[in-house]
A and B are shown apart, each in its own frame.
Chain A
Amino acid sequence: MLSYLLRRLAQAVLVMLVVGMGAFSLFQYAGDPVSNMLGQDASPAQRAQLHAELGLDRAAPIQFARFVGRALGGDFGLSLRQGREVSALLAERLPATLELSVVAATIATVLGIPLGVYAALRRRHWDAKLTMAVSLLGVSLPTFLIGIVLIEVFSVLLGWLPSFGRGATVQLGGWSTGLLSVDGWRHIVLPAATLAVYQLALAMRLVRAEMLEALRSDYVKFARARGLPDRVVHFGHALRNALMPVLTISGLQLGGLIAFSVITETVFAWPGMGSLFIQAVQFPDGPVLAAYLCLIALLFVAINLVVDLLYAVVDPRLRVRDAGVGVRR
């Protein structure tokens, strides 16, 4: 178990180093910081001096080491577009994205798992088939299109809900929250629903597939042969085993939410990290891209690590066998 843990940690560090190199090269291509700082009419001597002061004349590995050192302290330099600290920009936008993701994840999980179980148990009935067809629509529909349709229906036609921004926010320490006011909740409904649709459909389809697999298995057949009532077989035996992969699903979902929040935030003018990132791609703004890349990578590596470790804890087979075989996902 310990060797498995160490191996996974080493992998995670390796991934972060690779990503760090990618981010570092983004910096290198992001333009010469010296001409930005000194302007057009600086003398070559001044340039050379600043170059040396900034350490830009050193070898690439040394510069990379300095970059990693600064990045560990959260220092990614100044945004090319806004001229402000990248870390400050990200920090003030983090709460908006996290609140949106958490609300969407709650919707997706609370609805997705029961619907998946239902669709598996009533596999041959028309209502389960209809649910599956609708979920296919949910997986196929591009996120931005769902957002547009929701805006058209609920904001333009019905005029029930606002379609952009976070509404009134309350400051709690350094955290601005929209979840403490009615206005904030009214603003989060449409973007969170948009973000949840894909995850909901995906969770439902995965739970259904796992459930069907479990229902076909021998232990379910034997449980039936023992004369156990359907309810016990379905929820005591099948669902318990089908929910194992839900761990992975939840991990994947978090990742998917971050990815799709980029789109949702653009559609709803939600002031989160995703819209900051899109602006950085459009401009293009190297330091912001690099910082976002590192932040997202850290998040994903952490999620994958936690999911893998939970797997090792939950699945006894992985504990007994040499865990180094790797966890199938």
Chain B
Amino acid sequence: MTKKLQNITDKLPPLIALLGFVLIWQLVCFFKIVPSFMLPSPIEVVLAIINDFSTLLHHGKVSLIETLAGLLLGIILAFVMATVMDRFVVLDKAFYPLIIVSQTIPTIAIAPILVLWMGFGMAPKITLVVITTFFPITVGLLEGYKSVDKDSLNLLKAMGADNLQIFYHLKFPRAMPYFFAGLKISASYAVVGAVVSEWLGGFEGLGVYMTRVKKAYSFDKMFAVIIVIVIISLLLMKLVKEIGKMSMPWLNLAKNENVNQK
């Protein structure tokens, strides 16, 4: 009961802040403090979402596919890179600076080049998502692998464990919280990455739709797209959080709580 109450009191302040923000926005528009062609009111935005729903859904689906495909490939790439770099110190030394450099390249600058190389289809978008997402996951995993203490390593060695067993029983599980922390950041980058790459060329996707409505000065529709992007990002982050909770049941346990016997 108290937990439920705590839950409500925890969620109340951000909810009030959000409602307050929307209310002020509505009032600013209602009293025409900002002209309506520059800033559509929240009600107009909601109406745009409702009227454009099927179009938004269609483009949203395309962007989501690009995001998820890029994220998945990013995870695989990050996992392979981090694991190999952790195993062979020389590769860690060789590639770590390169990985850092890859993050200083502005996405917006590289996206048109990718479009030139790969065409207007999904490939350049997915590639861009991979570039933006693999970094936080790689760094997270590397840090996680390195967080394993020497005593635990010695203990497993004393049991006669080989490198693969040490990785499976000790290193990877220890790195999991770091992995999910990185993945959460990546998930929010991924959607933005997909949309940015769509701005610069393509036929479908929220970014494409956004440039289209921008040219028509339909600001209400633009805001509608932004809201959809925000919602997708939030849902994705929530999904990552839930998957993390499910795959790491040993975190946040109460002392006498019973766990399943699997």
Do these two chains interact? no
Interface residues of A (CB under 8 A from B): none
Interface residues of B (CB under 8 A from A): none
